[in-house]
Amino acid sequence: LAKTTQPISMDSYEGQEVNITCSHNNIATNDYITWYQQFPSQGPRFIIQGYKTKVTNEVASLFIPADRKSSTLSLPRVSLSDTAVYYCLVGGGTNAGKSTFGDGTTLTVKP
Amino acid sequence: DSGVTQTPKHLITATGQRVTLRCSPRSGDLSVYWYQQSLDQGLQFLIQYYNGEERAKGNILERFSAQQFPDLHSELNLSSLELGDSALYFCASSTHPDGNTEAFFGQGTRLTVV
C-alpha cells in the first residue's frame, strides 16, 4: 500500500493561494489520489480526487505529474475558514478499503 | 450534513466492557467503512462492508467486529475495552465498493474508556 508524506503544518494569510504537496512514491497503477479536509471533532470531508494530470472543481485544483509519485492540492484565495487538517489519500481499486490516510497537513490561515 | 448518521455521539464506558456503535449510510450507498482516530495514530482504517459482505479489512483488533445489515446500516462492536481504545470512531459510506468515488463521513462517535 502506498505510503503518503505531507508537510506537518503550513501557515498562510487570507487571500493567498496555498499549495500542499503529498509524496506517494509507491503509488500503484490503479490507485487514485484523493484529498480530504477535516475540522476538529468532525468527520473528513471530500475535497477533490484525481488519477493523473490536473483536476479542478469549485473549491480546489489537484495537480498530478506524469510519474504520479506526488500530487499538489491547490487552494485559491484561502480564508480563515479554510484552517483545517488536509489529508492526502492514495488508494482505490481493489485496495479501496485499505486506502491509507497519512498524518495530514495542518493549515493555519491568518488574517 | 454528509447524510451519514452515527450514534451515539458520545460514549463513556469502563474497561472490560462491550459497546456497539451504529452507522446509517447515505441513502443509496452500499459501501460502509469504519475508521478509528486517536490522538497518537491519526485515521486508521478498520474495516469495509459492501452490500452486506465484508470487503476489506484493515488494522482491526480481534476484540472488534462489525457487520452490515440488510437495510445497509452497520454496527461496530468493541469488546473487552481498554483505555487505549478511547478514540473517535468514524463511519463513511460511498456508492461503489472501490475507492474511486467520494466517501462521505459521519460526525463520529467519541468513545471514552475509563
How many angstroms separate the Cα of B75 from the Cα of each of A23, B67, B87? 34, 6, 16
What pLDDT, in 10s, does the model give residues A62-81? Answer: 999 999 999 999 999 999 99
**Of A36-50, B35-49, B66-80, which range is least confident?**
B35-49
Percent of chain A with pLDDT over 70: 90
Q: How remote is the C-alpha of A9 from its chain's centroid?
A: 13
Give A5's DSSP letter.
Answer: B
What pLDDT, in 10s, does the model give residues B16-66? Answer: 999 999 999 999 999 999 999 987 777 888 999 999 999 888 889 999 999
Report whether pLDDT(A94) > 50. no
Mean pLDDT value across residues A50-56: 91
Which residue of B99, B104, B107 is in closest CB contact with A32? B99
Instruction: State the nearest Cα–Cα gap between A84 and chain B, in angstroms.
Output: 14
Hey, what amino acid is at B49? Y
Q: Is B24 near chain A, with CB under 8 Å? A: no
CB contact under 8 A, B90 and A91: no
Write the secondary structure of chain B as one string of H (helix), E (strand) and C (coil): CCCCEEECCEEEECCCCCEEEEEECCCCCCEEEEEEEECCCEEEEEEEEECCEEEEECCCCCCEEEEECCCCCEEEEECCCCHHHCEEEEEEEECCCCCCCCCEECCCEEEEEC
Most A CBs within 10 Å, among B98, B107, B110, to test the A interface: B98
Q: Is B100 near chain A, with CB under 8 Å? A: yes
Which of A:21-40 have CB within 8 Å of B?
Answer: 32, 34
Q: Is A50 near chain B, with CB under 8 Å? A: no
Q: Is B66 near chain A, with CB under 8 Å? A: no
